Amino acid sequence: MEGKEEDVRLGANKFTERQPIGTAAQSQDDGKDYTEPPPAPFFEPGELTSWSFYRAGIAEFVATFLFLYITILTVMGVVKEKTKCPTVGIQGIAWAFGGMIFALVYCTAGISGGHINPAVTFGLFLARKLSLTRAIFYMVMQCLGAICGAGVVKGFMGKTQYGMLGGGANSVAHGYTKGDGLGAEIVGTFVLVYTVFSATDAKRSARDSHVPILAPLPIGFAVFLVHLATIPITGTGINPARSLGAAIIFNKDKGWDDHWIFWVGPFIGAALAALYHVVVIRAIPFKSK
């Protein structure tokens, strides 16, 4: 028996944990093979002569086009029915938005970073992850893609039916104030952009090899959860391109009355998430040079 106990003891201590878990992972200095990348230049003229720059913009256009096409078409399918029972309902709409973000981030992350959202681009720009040149180009291509995506849905549904069903445009629901809508957009976008920063953190990628593979999953899931919470309040924007594309194609007062909320809210939320990640989570301003 003593020999067997010795074998068990040796076997239990023969192999160490492959990766520390929980707070143990945070306490170890796993960043020895990681160096903080320099901040992106504010303006980088050389990008304008690079094909990869324009390829990334095209990827953002196509991704946002597909995003609006699938999601607005899903919304139309739910709204056109008198009762939600024969449709996918609010949960289905939330899954459409979250699932498309998961798929599209996975497809485009290696080309453009898979932003598909001006608020995400704005947050990453504030954190100095990309230049102003690229940020503006991405936002323009995202908005154009969103307009085209919503336009295709209108072509399928027909002008009359599309207009009667609201065109998937965002607005503050009855019973809520504009302040309620603005707050919902700020918090919802904070959740999304905070998740983006955490899921794509380069230091975590250096420490945990599984993080880059799983990055699209928590991002898509965050979009899903935010939609579940805020669809009854604002229809859930948290993406200015999505709101702009639907508003332009719908082009009625309902789509424009509260439209400012779906730019101001997401941009404030993205800025707060960038500040929280850089100052609190990563504490970059307090690191010794």
Token pair listed for 46: 């050389």
Q: Please name the residue that has the structure tokens 């996918």.
A: 88
Distance CA 162, CA 79 (A): 10
Distance CA 133, CA 44 (A): 7
CATH architecture group of domain 46-280: Up-down Bundle (1.20)
Lowest mean pLDDT among 22-36, 100-114, 120-134, 223-237: 22-36
Contact between 196 and 223 under an 8 Å Cβ cutoff? The reply is: no
Radius of gyration (Cα) for the chain, nearest Å? 22
pLDDT in tens, 48-73: 889 999 999 999 999 999 999 999 99
pLDDT in tens, 200-246: 887 765 555 555 557 899 999 999 999 999 999 999 999 999 999 99
Lowest mean pLDDT among 7-11, 110-114, 233-237, 261-265: 7-11
The mean predicted confidence, pLDDT, of the chain is 85
Containing 56, the helix (H) or strand (E) segment is helix 51-79
> Any idea where the domains of the chain sit in the sequence?
46-280
Token pair listed for 173: 């629901």
pLDDT at 15: 41
pLDDT at 6: 52
